[in-house]
Amino acid sequence: MVIKKLKKLLQDRILILDGAMGTMIQEYNLLEKDYRGDLFANHSEEIKGLNDVLSLTKPEVIEQIHKDFLEAGADIIETNTFNATKISFSNYHMENMVYDINVASAKIAKKLADEFTFKNPSKPRFVAGSIGPTDKTASFSVSSDSSIKNTYFDELFEAYLEQIKALIKGGVDLLLIETVFDSINCKAALYAAEKVFEELNISLPIIISATLTNGNLLSGQTLEAFLNSIVHANPLAIGLNCSLGADLLYPFIKELSKIAPLYTICYPNAGLPNELGYYDETPEMFAEKINNFAKEKLINIVGGCCGTTPLHTTLIAKKLSNATPRKIPEIPKITRLSGLEPLNITKDIKFINIGERANVTGSKRFSKFIISKDFDSALEVARKQIDNGAQVIDINMDESMLDAKSEMKNFLNLISSDKDIAKAPIMVDSSKWEVIVAGLKCLPGKGIVNSISLKEGEEIFIKQAKIIHSLGAAVLFMAFDEKGQAETAKRKIEICLRAYKILTEEINFSPHDIIFDLNVFAIATGLEEHNNLAIEFLEAAKYLKANLPYCHISGGLSNLSFSFRGKNMIREAMHSIFLYHAIPCGMNFAIVNPGQIPVYDEIPLHLRNLIENVIFNKNPQATYELVDYANNITDPQKKATLKEEWRTDTLNKRLELSIIKGITKYLETDLTQALTAYSKPIEIIENPLMNGISKVGILFGDGKMVLPQLVKSARAMQHAVQFLQPHIEKGKKTNIKSNGKILIATVKGDVHDIGKNIVDVVLKCNNYEIFNLGEKVALETILDMAKKENADIIGLSGLITPSLAEMVQVAKEMEARGFTIPLLIGGAATSIKHTAIKIYPIYKKGITVYVKDASQAVSIVASLLDKNKKTTFVNDLKQKYKDIINSYNATNTNITYYPLKKARDHKPKFDWDNISITKPNNTGITTFNDFSLQEIIKNFDWVQFFQEWGFKGKYPEILNESEVGKEAKNLFEDTKKMLNKIDKEKWIIPKAIIGIFPANSIEEDIEIYDSESRNKIISILQTLRQQSIHSDSQPNYSLADFFAPKKSNINDYIGFFVLTTGLQSKDIIEDDYHKLILKLIKDCLAEGFSKSLHEKVKNELWGVNSIRPAIGYPILPDHSIKRPIFELLDINNKIGVNLTENEMMTPEASICGLYIANPHAKYFSIGKIAKDQVENYAKRRNMDISIIEKNLLSYLSYKSD
């Protein structure tokens, strides 16, 4: 079989695909009469440019092109059929010729391929039937009504069916579905191929290649989402072609090579077309870029698209003759769904919320919108499900007054034009088979069918399951067979095992694509036979999850509480509690309204007990007890009753809970009452309030409370103390005893204090008196203030590398002045290793403690200030430091480094004559004094934002975490409100400068020139070089290597940028919580601004992809090189950003970096450097070596003085 031959070859070497048929046809300068020939001499339309017809009218031309590519070394040639479908040919009124053209094209290619194989059997040749995307897309609308599309699945299917039959008739060896810009078009082609294979009882390999626009398919679908959408067809290979040259395709083929469980293919254009539409990239340049793909083992099949010729193929084949092919990586086998974005259900995702409100049978409101044709409101319902945390959207149109099939198609087509909804996978939900099929044909991604069962027997079940699999969906199987719905655990298990065997063994369904709906039935109905139904579900779920671990368990939660219609508070509580117990049993899918699932711990204990009594059938009266409770709740107040039952607790408990939950609403009322209950106001603080804040500290330290919750608790405590303070003063008792005095500061030259301020809040919450000296604090100020205030502990924070040296100086001075109090070290620049090796040995009279983050601060401080704990804590820490120091010394004696001269000999060797250097559209300085905030907010980095707050999960999944999801959502909403306010009221003024200049390199220096004449040097950027001893294949990089050497006489360019989102239009007074939000918003906006500027450079100022290394990162670790950049661009005068003495930028939320457009440029870390380079660097910088060593302290391979 062909598939076996190809797989064997692909394991041994990289296969070569031919080049551009269209480009080669252009070389023949054919006229209209050549296209027509005798066959179409009298055709009514002009057909010049319709290359496919040449297989009938000029077969000798097509034959010669194939022959040229085969002689050049192509293993696979493509048929001349890219446009040969009746959809594309309808523009020429030639639909009736499509079959003949495909057959003829395949025969021409096959004849030549067989001849070459016969001549050299050791190099077999193959013919790929070229199947283009047609000139229509099923995802785009052609009218103001976005439900009306350019084409539809069935039309595409019929067109591809005809083409594939003809290609196979002509003898192709495989099918190449190429230049895919819309996954619906691609899925129609795959479905057609499967049907033809079934009809002809054959199977051919299929290769799929997509084309990208701005990193995604034209439909907006991401690359990984597309992969998830088509992998069900088990193609031989997947890849990318057209639209971009090799350098611009590189990051995407690199991404694909990591995530694809298939062989990869790539056939780029010969660069980008010039103004005249021609491709300037030479075969030598093209081959070198492709060779780089091979060196990184990214590809298995490679060729050329637009602009490539047989010469390109010759050089590729030569370059890659001994190249090692990519090995298919071991990709974790998990459920992979998609809309426009992927949803990969990893083991970290414990539960999938399927939004239920876009269902005409379950939501009167949604039904009303659909019936009245108010589709904007209906879409808003679906959108809100996403906003509330649904990861999948269930769509159901089964209403008696509706044409369900038509409405399903219509609504899904509307969704495809709404990116906010379309990003999520869709669950097509219907009891009507034709509605399910119609819905699946509208999905660009991989969705889920809800549902099929064995109710009508195996024959129908198998037929339906095959179609679902062919259309690329996962399946929800209802535990229902010929005997009816399964109620007992035994029946549920029996039916699901039977279905599993059929789905996996007969239809080849992946277990990961099977979801069992075990039938959630109503409980608490008053009927005794219903009392055990929840237990039966849980037992079945537990068994199936243990025995079929890769499958999923689901259920419709609303059924559970059916007896309590109209009692939404009870229903929501029942759903939450059932999920709480069902998830550990294996239930990880549920159709729910994600906005109406209360947190288990927030449900009143009494109600929780009543519901659990019902779920687990604990006593015969359980139903009636819950009914009585429900009947005593009046509807208008039901939410308040549930959420505020704690208000009936004792006064002390209420005060304690107000602090723990951060609720200030009732504080003054309760504190007023407490003033009469306690003889002294201070006792209120010392008892219920301190009890609450102590529990907050424990919860936060144990990771059971997230930072936003802690800040709210601190805010509540502050509110309570402020309320009580006048009463305390009136009673002449002003001293509230703290747990200790702690002085904290960001060291001199450093302005980053977010982490320090979080520690401030955390420690205040635990009744420590904090002296927060702020940022850029000099050593003398820190130590003088510590003496003055009799501080128990000093804490130092720093973000940048020079801050490490400053901390060392503080420790030395503490030792000299005779301090004995503990010294805490923290911040992004610090580490336990640096603390142990560089600081701990210096401060002998006291102890130095590394604090990783705010969550450790409380327990560390408590241990240091507790006489009973301190000795053990310090001894354990000293032993840990000793182990680190010994390990470091042992390791470093074995590490050697190249001398600088040898490292230079080992630098990367670039063929500068064949590297394409793009001249910028604008050189010089461009200033942005009021960049669009809205544009920046689009690039807001929510992942970074939540990480800065200390959330362990990843956005957006964090919003649905069972433990911290509620707080994450609250923080998300608070932040969105502030972002809107920032934008509306112009709180922040984004400013930036970009400078692009001619440049060349000399070793590690980059000379910057004033003009293209390159006669005047206006600045020199000195960089560093890696000195670690690498393998021969891995060079020792310097950033300067990516610029053409001065001696090459090749004109190159460099870009600089400085930006800030730290400038405020006015002072904004907020509490601690909102101050932290604002600080982190600025940082994340700075990152977003960096992306927005980069896009402007790419699309307007330079017109080329580039990397943008920021100064201070491991690629450019010396912050002091900001100073010449600031002078060159006149940053201070133009946008108001300044440098501290340690080159930290003020205001915060500022970034300084470079743009480097070399296609080989990449990010790397300098690593440790030896003293010879430090001396050389200091000389080149004309700086004292001690300052250089301070700036590069953590990068030195030796101990500095």
Sign of torsion, CA 1152 1158 1159 1160? negative
Spell out the long-range contacts of 603-607 with Cβ–Cβ below 8 A and sequence spacing 24 or more: 603/573, 603/576, 603/577, 603/642, 604/642, 604/645, 604/646, 606/645, 607/570, 607/573, 607/642, 607/645
> Rounded to an integer, what distance in angstroms lies between the CA atom of residue 291 and that of residue 303?
11
* Catalytic residue selected from 257, 658, 803, 1092: 803
Reply yes or no on whether 1090 is catalytic.
no
Distance, CA of 1087 to CA of 1151 (rounded, Å): 8
d(CA 707, CA 946): 10
Contact 253, 301 (CB under 8 A): no
Rounded CA-CA distance 939/648 in Å is: 46
- Residue 1156 corresponds to which tokens in the numbers above? 């480097």
Residue 765's contacts (CB-CB under 8 Å, 6 or more residues apart) are: 693, 696, 697, 700, 710, 713, 714, 717
Q: Is 107 helix (H, G, I), strand (E, B) or coil?
A: helix
Residue 999, strand partner residues: 1008, 1052
Q: How many of the other CB atoms lie within 10 Å of CB of 629? A: 16
Q: Is 883 a catalytic residue?
A: no
CA atoms within 13 A on the CB side of 849: 27
CA dihedral of residues 863, 865, 871, 875 (deg, nearest 10): 60
Beta-carbon count within 10 A of 118 CB = 10
Residues in the chain: 1201
Which is catalytic among the residues 18, 481, 750, 792? 750
Distance CA 475, CA 13 (A): 38
Cα–Cα distance for residue pair 444/188, rounded to 1 Å = 10
Q: Which two tokens stand for residue 970?
A: 């609250």
**C-alpha of 261 from chain center:** 20
Q: Give dist(CA 131, CA 179) in Å, integer.
A: 9
Can you tell me which residue has the tokens 């990771």?
703
Which one-letter DSSP state was computed for residue 930? S
CA–CA dist 282, 308 (Å, integer): 9
| E strand or H helix at 875 | helix 867-892
Helices (H), 179-323: 183-200, 223-230, 246-259, 283-295, 310-319
Cis-peptide, bond into residue 451, ω within 30° of zero: yes
**3-class DSSP state of 948:** helix
Q: Which of 232, 752, 834, 1074 is catalytic?
A: 752
Beta strands 848-850; 484-485: pairing state: unpaired
Contact, 322 vs 328, CB < 8 A?
no
Contacts of 998 (CB under 8 A, 6+ apart): 923, 1008, 1009, 1011, 1012, 1014, 1051, 1052, 1053
Distance separating alpha carbons of residues 225 and 228, to the nearest angstrom: 5
Q: H/E/C letters for each residue in 790-847?
A: CCCEEEEECCCHHHHHHHHHHHHHHHHHCCCCCEEEECCCCCHHHHHHHHCCCCCCCC
Question: Cα angle vertex 450, ends 448, 455, to 5°?
Answer: 135
Contacts of 8 (CB under 8 A, 6+ apart): none
Q: Catalytic: 797?
A: no
Active site residues: 750, 752, 803
